[in-house]
Each structure stands twice: as C-alpha cells, then as structure tokens.
C-alpha cells in the first residue's frame, strides 16, 4: 500500500508535505456491505478543509458500499482523491429508491482543482435498471461533475452505470486520461462520457465500450479534444443530439483524433433535430480507423426521438467547417458516408481528405449520400465524394 501511494505522490511534489486522509481512519469498514458514506464524507470534509498543499483523500484497496454521495467544495487547496479500491453503488432500483437519489451515485460539486487517480473501480451495478423502460426511471449517472473546474482524472475504471457513466455539467478545464469505461453492448442510455455546458475538455488514451455513445457532446460546448480513444461496443462519438427544444445551438472547436471505432452502431456522428437553430462549427475528425462500424461518417439533421415522427420546420442548425481526414476501415451500412443536412440550412465547408471505407461484407460496394451538403474533397476518397462544390 505504502509503495503504491509513494508512486502516486511522486511527481506531485515533496512527499513530506502531503497530508493523507484515509477513509479507514474515519470508520469506514470496506466490507462491501456496510454503508461507508458517512466515513467518506468525514474524510472529505477534512481533506477539503485542509490548508496543506494538495491534501489527499485515500480510498484503500478494499471494497466499499456507498449510498449516493456528493463531495462538495469549494476546498481550501487543490485536492487529490486516490481511489485504490472498489466503490459499489446501490445494487438495484429498489435499493436506489429507498435512498431517494434520482441523479447520481458519486458527485463532485463546486470543486476547483481536483485530481482523481488510482487504479480503482466504480461499479454502478446498473443491470437491474437496464430492463426497465427509460421513461420510468431517472437518469442516474455513476459519476457526475457539476459546476467544478480544473478537474483531472486518470487510470480509473467505471463499469455498469445505470445510465451515463460520467457527466460533465457546467464545468471548465477537464482532463481525463487512461480511463476504462465498460457496460454490455445494448445497455440503454449508458453513454460513456456526456459533456454538457462545459468548455475545455481533453480526453486522452481511454477505452470506452459503454453500449451507448462513447462520448456525446451536448449543447453549449467549445474546445474539446478527444484523442487515442478506442470506442465500442456502443454508438460512436456523437455531437448531439442538438436543438431538440427549438433552442439556439452553439457548439464549436471539437477535435477527434486517433480514434478506433470497433463494432459501433455509428462512428463520427453529428445529429440535430429539425427544430434546432444556431450552429455547429469547426469540427475535426482525423486519423480514425473503423472496424465493422454502422455509419462511419454521418451527419443527420433529421434526428427525431419520437416514434411517431417529427414534423418539418423552416429552421435548422447551421453546420460548417467540418473536416474528415485519414479515415479508413469497414462499414456495416451500405451508405458509408451520409451527409443528410437540413433542407433549410445547408452544411457548408465540409472537407474530406484521404477516406477509404469499404463494406464489412466482402464483395459489396458502399456509397456516399449527400443532401444539401457543400464542400470539397482531396486525395483518395472511397466511396466517391458527393459533396457539392462551393457556389
């Protein structure tokens, strides 16, 4: 244990200055059954109130059961949260209901300067929820960051969330590195990472096979870099769905580089409702490999969550300056490149460069489809580009 901690602390600063707050010293049992959340909150309170440089709350290599818990700031220093053990959520819908939380398992709120690391695991025990229609259950996240800034998380595993595994809501300056996020294929609404109203996000070197979107980017977002992410099984990386409430969308400066989409339902996707306004612009997808992906490249401006369909409108979200560079691999769909843009507001300045998509089925051809999509193509483009050149 001590060796592990020393390893973690190296690079942070002088080990002698670091003050540790071990949950076991606050009465946690770590037997996977006893509710240890009071002990965790006491340890957090002392960590958060410590005036030493970068105090560290330590969750040792044991199994802890917690009720839904919020770790609230602001704290007096930047704090570290070292998860070496396992955190178990309530075991099913009945247990959650008794605990009266409809939002999350673990939450950090109003914390500025947070380093979560370790080799630990957060187990959302979501299985019991996945069979219940999502209309009847709350959107429970395994890990929620709310109105927090300067957040760093590395080498944490998060599995089996009831719904979204990690939510970023109203945060700034976030760095995730080396995360492992997993839920079975087909588990509903279990996005890996959902980003909402948040700026400056860097997600690097992570595996996300969460059954739903690997990363989904909601409204009011700018400056997101997603690099070296392996995605699947699940739905792919999605910008959207956006504009569902007729709102003015504002999403910009999104970069997805060095990604692998393995058996995903979609790949690089932008989806908006017909009711949306505003814009999505300055988006880059580059150096991406597809292995048997559903819709490798897709813009869908006719997204509609309603089984009865959505009526046409006379507005649309303006999509512009989206580049797709060095993307290759196999497509399950016959339409491998699908730019289905709004009939009211054209997609402009779409750039394709060095694209080679082939069918997952040997001998079958794939095609491109364009609806009101403008831009240009360079280099090898397979299937052939259908973009309208600029007028």
Ligand X SMILES: *[C@@H]1O[C@H](CO)[C@@H](O)[C@H](O)[C@H]1NC(C)=O
Any idea which residues carry the catalytic annotation?
A: 212, 235
Q: Which of residues 160-199 bind ligand X (CB under 6 A)?
A: none
Q: How far is the CB of 298 from ligand X (least distance, A)?
A: 8
Among 20, 110, 180, 202, interactor with ligand X by CB under 6 A? 202
What is the closest distance, in whole angstroms, from the C-beta atom of residue 222 to ligand X in the complex? 4
Q: Which one among 196, 382, 386, 388 touches ligand X, defined by CB under 6 A?
A: 382
Residue among 139 and 334 whose Cβ is closer to ligand X: 334
- Pick the closer one to ligand X by CB: 164 or 301: 301
Contact (CB, 8 A) for 278 and 318: yes
> Mind spelling out the 3-state secondary structure of the chain?
CHHHHHHHHCCCCCHHHCCEEEHHHHCCCCEEEEECHHHHHHHHHHHHHCCCCCCEEEECCCEEECCCEEEECCCCCCEEEEECCEEECCCCHHHHHHHCCCCEEEEEECCEEEEEEECCEEECCCHHHHCCCHHHCCCCEEEEEECCEEEEEECCEEECCCCCCEEEECCEEEEEECCEEECCCCCCCCCCEEEECCEEEEEEEEEEECCCEEEEECCCEEEEEEEEEEECCCCEEEEEEECCCCCEEEEEEEEEEEEEEECCCEEEEEEEECCCEEEEEEEEEEEEEEEEECEEEEEEEEECCCCCCCCCCCCCCEEEEEEEEEEEEEECCCEEEEEECCCCCCEEEEEEEEEEEEECCCCCCCEEEEECEEEEEEEEEECCCCCECCC
Among 7, 100, 133, 306, binds ligand X (CB under 6 A): 100
Q: How far is the CB of 250 from ligand X (least distance, A)?
A: 4
List the one residue from 22, 196, 225, 275 that touches ligand X (CB under 6 A).
Answer: 225
| Residues whose CB is less than 8 angstroms from the CB of residue 187 and which lie 6 or more positions away in sequence, other chains included | 126, 130, 160, 210, 211, 212
User: Which residues, 40 to 69, sit near ligand X by CB under 6 A?
Assistant: 42, 45-46, 49
Kindly state whether residue 263 participates in binding ligand X, applying the rule CB under 6 A: yes
Instruction: Kindly indicate which of the ranges 28-36, 134-142, 235-243, 332-340 contains the residues binding ligand X, using the contact rule CB under 6 A.
Output: 332-340
One of 139, 282, 326, 376 touching ligand X (CB under 6 A):
282
Q: Is 284 in the site for ligand X (CB under 6 A)?
A: yes
Return the half-sphere exposure (C-beta side, CA atoms, 13 A cut-off) of residue 223: 9
Piece of 30-38, 81-89, 96-104, 235-243 that binds ligand X (CB under 6 A): 96-104
All residues at 6 or more sequence positions from 311 whose CB lies less than 8 Å from its CB, including other chains? 274
* 367 binds ligand X per the rule CB under 6 A: no
Instruction: Based on the shown chain and the rule CB under 6 A, indicate whether residue 340 belongs to the binding site for ligand X.
Output: yes
Q: Applying CB under 6 A, what is the total number of residues that bind ligand X?
A: 38
367-371 and 180-182 beta bridge pairing: unpaired
Q: Is 22 in the site for ligand X (CB under 6 A)?
A: no
- Residue 2 CB, nearest distance to ligand X (Å)? 25
The neighbouring-strand residues paired with 213 are 236
| Listed ranges 17-25, 38-46, 109-117, 124-132: which one lies at the site for ligand X (CB under 6 A) | 38-46
CA distance 289 to 194: 22
DSSP bridge partners of 195: 168, 217
- Among 70, 112, 154, 252, which residue sits at the site for ligand X (rule: CB under 6 A)? 252
Q: Which region among 3-11, 94-102, 114-122, 125-133 touches ligand X (by CB under 6 A)?
A: 94-102
How far is the C-alpha of 342 from the C-alpha of 86, rounded, in Å?
A: 47
Tell which one of 369, 376, 386, 388 touches ligand X (CB under 6 A): 369
Q: Is 372 in the site for ligand X (CB under 6 A)?
A: no
Which of 164/318 has CB closer to ligand X?
318
Task: Between 222 and 344, name the residue whose CB sits nearer to ligand X.
Answer: 222
* Smallest distance from ligand X to CB 61, Å: 25
275 is a site residue for ligand X (CB under 6 A): no
12 binds ligand X (CB under 6 A): no
* Interface ranges with ligand X (CB under 6 A): 42, 45-46, 49, 98-100, 200-202, 204-205, 222-223, 225, 227-228, 230, 250, 252, 255, 260, 262-263, 282, 284, 291, 302, 321, 323, 335, 338, 340, 356, 358, 369, 380, 382
């Amino acid at each position: 244990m001590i060796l592990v901690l020393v390893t973690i602390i190296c690079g942070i600063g002088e080990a002698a200055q670091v003050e540790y707050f071990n949950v076991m010293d606050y009465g946690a049992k770590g037997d996977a059954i006893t509710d240890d959340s009071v002990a965790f909150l006491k340890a957090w309170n002392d960590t958060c109130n410590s005036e030493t440089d970068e105090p560290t709350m330590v969750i040792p290599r044991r199994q802890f059961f917690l009720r839904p818990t919020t770790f609230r700031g602001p704290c007096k220093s930047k704090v570290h949260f070292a998860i070496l053990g396992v955190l178990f959520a309530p075991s099913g819908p009945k247990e959650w209901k008794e605990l009266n939380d409809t939002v999350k398992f673990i939450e950090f709120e109003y914390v500025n300067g947070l380093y979560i690391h370790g080799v630990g695991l957060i187990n959302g025990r979501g299985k019991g929820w996945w069979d219940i229609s999502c209309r009847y259950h709350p959107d429970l996240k395994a890990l929620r960051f709310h109105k927090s800034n300067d957040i760093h998380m590395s080498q944490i595993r998060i599995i089996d969330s009831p719904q979204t595994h990690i939510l970023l809501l109203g945060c700034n300056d976030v760095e995730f590195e080396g995360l492992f996020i997993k839920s079975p294929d087909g588990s509903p609404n279990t996005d890996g990472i959902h980003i909402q109203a948040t700026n400056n996000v860097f997600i690097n070197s992570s595996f996300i096979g969460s059954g739903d979107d690997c990363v989904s980017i909601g409204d009011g977002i700018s400056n997101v870099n997603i690099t070296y992410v392996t995605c699947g099984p699940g739905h792919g990386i999605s910008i959207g769905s956006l504009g569902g409430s007729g709102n003015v969308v504002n999403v910009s400066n999104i970069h997805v580089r060095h990604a692998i989409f393995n058996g995903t339902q979609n790949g690089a996707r932008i989806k908006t409702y017909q009711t949306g306004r505003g814009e999505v612009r300055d988006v880059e997808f580059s150096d991406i490999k597809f292995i048997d992906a559903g819709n490798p490249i897709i813009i869908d401006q006719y997204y509609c969550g309603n089984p009865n369909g959505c009526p046409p409108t006379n507005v649309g979200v303006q999509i512009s300056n989206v580049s797709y560079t060095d993307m290759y691999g196999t497509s399950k769909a016959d339409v491998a490149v699908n730019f289905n843009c709004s009939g009211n507001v054209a997609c402009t300045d779409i750039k394709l460069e060095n694209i080679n998509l082939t069918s997952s089925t040997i001998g079958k051809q794939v095609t491109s489809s364009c609806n009101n999509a403008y831009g240009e193509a360079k280099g090898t483009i397979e299937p052939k580009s259908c973009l309208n050149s600029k007028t």
